[in-house]
Amino acid sequence: MSIKVGDRIPASTVVKVTPDGPEAVDTEAFFAGRTVALFSVPGAFTPTCSARHLPGFIDKATELKAGGVDEIACTAVNDAFVLGAWSGQNKAGDTVTMLADGNADFARAVGLTMDGTKFGMGTRAQRYSMLVRDGVVEQLHVEEPGEFKVSSAEHLLAQL
């Protein structure tokens, strides 16, 4: 069952990409006491994710923060080293916090997985964005397969 508006972010562990290396992060603690714009991509370095999804959140970061967002985070079913390299290539810096979900534990916990086996990708997270306020999902925008509309930074910004 998929997470929905009004639900709390479930307990899970993701790995934060830091300059000092990977750091385990408890999701309940990460989302507590602040507003986080979280977006999920099926995979780092994939075409839409690299050309539009991540760059959109980088470009709209100032506006999102002016709208009350404390932190912008990206999650993907990739390891922390891949997300770190992707962040570096896109010059995300401190603008977007990368949260690696290498085993898809978080994706499963929120009920937003997809089957990418026919593309050799295994279990991945669906493409979505959500606004999480103090650990509670306030907005959730899940894409239809193959689409990129409602999970964009522009769409989330328009909803603030």
- CATH of residue 40's domain is 3.40.30.10
Model pLDDT, residue 118:
87
Q: Has residue 1 got a pLDDT over 80?
A: no
Model pLDDT, residue 26:
97
The answer to whether residue 62 is domain-embedded is yes
The answer to whether residue 7 is domain-embedded is no
74 is catalytic: no
The answer to whether residue 47 is domain-embedded is yes
pTM summary value: 0.95
Model pLDDT, residue 83:
96
Q: Has residue 120 got a pLDDT over 90?
A: no
What's the number of domains the chain is made of?
A: 1
The answer to whether residue 118 is domain-embedded is yes
Distance between CA atoms of residues 82 and 19, nearest Å: 13
**What percent of the chain lies above the pLDDT cut of 70?**
100
Q: What is the mean pLDDT of residues 56-81?
A: 97
The answer to whether residue 116 is domain-embedded is yes
Model pLDDT, residue 67:
97
For the chain, what is the mean pLDDT? 94
Residue 36 domain boundaries: 13-159
Q: Has residue 7 got a pLDDT over 90?
A: yes
Residue/partner pairs of 64-69 with CB below 8 Å, 24 or more apart: 64/37, 64/153, 64/156, 64/157, 64/160, 67/157, 67/160, 68/35, 68/160, 69/35, 69/36, 69/37, 69/131, 69/160
The answer to whether residue 8 is domain-embedded is no
Strand order across the beta sheet in which 35-41 lies: 21-26, 13-18, 97-100, 71-76, 35-41, 128-133, 136-142
Distance between CA atoms of residues 63 and 45, nearest Å: 25
Q: Are strands 97-100 and 71-76 parallel, antiparallel or unpaired?
A: parallel
Of 3, 38, 41, 49, which residue is the catalytic one? Answer: 49
The answer to whether residue 106 is domain-embedded is yes
Give 23-54 pLDDT, tens digit per residue. 999 999 999 999 999 999 999 998 888 888 99
- The token pair at 106 is 């978080």
Q: Which helix (H) or strand (E) holds 85?
A: helix 80-89
The answer to whether residue 73 is domain-embedded is yes
